[in-house]
Structure 1
Amino acid sequence: MGIYIYRTLLQIVPVLFIITLIVFILVHVTGDPVAMMLPDTASAEDREILTQALGLDRPLYVQYYIFLSNLLQGDFGNSFRYGEAALPIVLERLPASFELAAASMLVACCIAIPFGIWSAVKRNSVFDLFISGVSVLGKAMPSFWVGIMLILIVAVQMGWTPVSGRGGFSYLILPAITLGTGIAAEMTRLVRSSMLEIIGQDYIRTARSKGLREMIVINKHALRNALIPVVTITGLQLTNLVGGSLVVETVFSWPGMGQLIVQAINSHDMAIVQASVFVIALMVILINLATDIAYRALDPRIKYNR
């Protein structure tokens, strides 16, 4: 495990290098940032002055070399839109995205794990069919519609929570439920199918033949092995939530990274885009590493290639 973690950490450097190269090229070929920053009435001389000031008159490889040199010092350049260093702006939005992602995953796990287990134990019963139907319905409902309905019913009509924004715990409830229910719909079916596979194994029948109570058989012997696929989907969903929950962030005016990235793309703010993608890529690598470690904790039989 130690060697595996060490090799994975060493792979971060080339992976991030490739990512920065791809993002740098894509950002530069999608449009002219000078045209985005200056009004239509700007003269050709004004455009030339700004182009030289930004260093955009140099060859791409020179710009990329300068970008990498600055990157090693933690400098992604200044944001065209905010007029400040890009990385602090991105890191300022990161806690809000983590907060929403963690709360959403907590909601999803609290719904999916118990209902998925119960649905597997009560296979082909009325409850199982009901849970399966609700899971399909939950997966089909768009997150923006769920969010709007929650705002209208819970926040506006009942007045239980704030409508939008970020503040205390009450501001987090509706966005977390909106994102969490969609993930729970998919995760519930995964927990159910995983549990059905596990409870049909020989060692589960052996545990039952020893006279152990059903709750002990399920919780102690079956659940731990059934959670391995759940850990996979949790890691994947967590990385998507941090940078990809744009719709929910827009509906609830949540100041996260998803909203920041789209605004930066629309305004062609290259520094913000590059810093955001770099931070998200680093988080994806670390979360995947944490997922692999969780595999080993759940099942010591899992081995990693050295």
Structure 2
Amino acid sequence: MRQYLLKSILQIVPVLFLISIIVFVLVYVTGDPVSLMLSDTATDEDREILIAALGLDQPMHIQYFRFLGNMLQGDFGTSFRYDMPALPIVLERLPATFELAIAAMIVATVISIPLGILSATKRNSFLDIFVSGASVLGKAMPHFWLGIMLILLFAVEWKTLPVSGRGSWDHLILPAFTLGTGIAAEMTRLIRSSMLEILGQDYIRTARSKGLIETIVVYKHALRNSLIPVVTIMALQTSTLIGGTLITETIFSWPGMGQLIIQAVNTRDMAIVQAAVFVVAFLVIVSNILADILYRVLDPRIKYN
């Protein structure tokens, strides 16, 4: 296990190297970075001074290695909108995004595990058909549409929950439910199929033949093994959560990293975009490593060679 984790950590290096190339190219894909940073009244002399200051008059590979060296020191440049280093601005918004993502995952887990188990144990019943249909509907609903509908219903019509912002726990309910619904739909279907497979195993039939009550068979013997693929999908949903926050945070004015990225893209503040893309990629890599560790916790029989 230790050798496997060490190997996984070492594999992060080439991945981050490729990400650094993508992040570097982002500046040039979006247009001339000098034109983005200068006002319309800037002269040609101002343009030449800025080009020399940014090192854009040097060959492309020299610019990249300069960018790579700065990136290794946590320097992604200065945001011209905030007039501050980009990385601290992104990291400042990260706790709000974590709060929303964790709340959304809790909502998804609380909804999906009971419904997935009930759907599997009541196979082909009306409940199973209803849960399966609701899962398809939940997966098909766009985040922005669901968020707007929840605002109209709970904030405008019933006036029971706040419309936007981040403050007390009730500010978190609507955005967390909006973001967690799609994940819950996918996890419910996965738990159902995994439970159906586990419930057909020989050791489950043996447990039932020993006279164990169905609750113990389902929740003690079957559920734990059926959670292994769920851990996989939860790790893969990290990128979905971060991507979903881009829209959800904008709808609910949640002051997280997603809203910051949208604002940076609209204003072409590429230093913020570069730092945010790198942070998101790093979080996805770490979540995949944590998923591998959870596999071993859930099933000690899993060996890493």
Aligned to 1:145: 145
Displacement, 1:96?
0.9
Assess if the C-alpha contact under 8 Å between 1:75 and 1:85 holds in 2.
yes
Aligned to 1:76: 76
What amino acid is aligned across from residue 112 of structure 2 in structure 1?
A
Distance in 1, matches of 2:27 and 2:33, equals 9
Kindly tell me: are residues 150 and 244 of structure 1, through their superposed partners in 2, closer, same or farther at Cα, counting changes over 3 Å? Answer: closer
What amino acid is aligned across from residue 181 of structure 1 in structure 2?
T
Aligned to 2:190: 190
Distance in 1, matches of 2:20 and 2:168, equals 36
Aligned pairs for 1:59-74 within 5 A: 59-74=59-74
What amino acid is aligned across from residue 54 of structure 1 in structure 2?
L
- Does the residue aligned with 1:167 lie in a helix, a strand or coil? coil
1:222 aligns with 2:222: yes
C-alpha deviations, 1:177-232, integer Å up to 9, x for none?
01111111111111101100110111100100000000000011100110111111
Distance in 1, matches of 2:267 and 2:113, equals 42
- Does the residue aligned with 1:179 lie in a helix, a strand or coil? helix
Aligned to 1:283: 283
Assess if the C-alpha contact under 8 Å between 1:33 and 1:269 holds in 2.
no
Displacement, 1:24?
0.4
The runs of 5 or more residues in structure 2 that have no matched partner are none
Assess if the C-alpha contact under 8 Å between 1:97 and 1:243 holds in 2.
no
Distance in 2, matches of 1:25 and 1:203, equals 54
Distance in 2, matches of 1:147 and 1:65, equals 43
What amino acid is aligned across from residue 218 of structure 1 in structure 2?
V
Assess if the C-alpha contact under 8 Å between 2:143 and 2:244 holds in 1.
no
Assess if the C-alpha contact under 8 Å between 2:78 and 2:85 holds in 1.
yes
Aligned to 2:293: 293
Displacement, 1:243?
4.5
Distance in 1, matches of 2:183 and 2:244, equals 13
Superposition TM-score, scaled by structure 2 size: 0.95
Aligned to 2:23: 23
Distance in 1, matches of 2:69 and 2:182, equals 42
What amino acid is aligned across from residue 61 of structure 1 in structure 2?
H
Distance in 1, matches of 2:244 and 2:275, equals 15
Distance in 2, matches of 1:29 and 1:105, equals 34
Distance in 2, matches of 1:16 and 1:98, equals 21
Distance in 2, matches of 1:72 and 1:131, equals 48
C-alpha deviations, 1:81-129, integer Å up to 9, x for none?
2110111001011111111110000000000000100110000111111
Kindly tell me: are residues 244 and 115 of structure 1, through their superposed partners in 2, closer, same or farther at Cα, counting changes over 3 Å? Answer: closer
Aligned to 2:52: 52
Aligned to 2:126: 126
Moved more, 181-190 or 103-112: 181-190
Moved more, 17-26 or 290-299: 17-26
1:96 aligns with 2:62: no
Report the identity percentage: 70
Distance in 1, matches of 2:34 and 2:76, equals 18
Distance in 2, matches of 1:187 and 1:72, equals 37
Kindly tell me: are residues 139 and 29 of structure 1, through their superposed partners in 2, closer, same or farther at Cα, counting changes over 3 Å? Answer: closer
Distance in 2, matches of 1:267 and 1:64, equals 23
Aligned to 1:180: 180
- Does the residue aligned with 2:84 lie in a helix, a strand or coil? coil
- Does the residue aligned with 1:245 lie in a helix, a strand or coil? helix
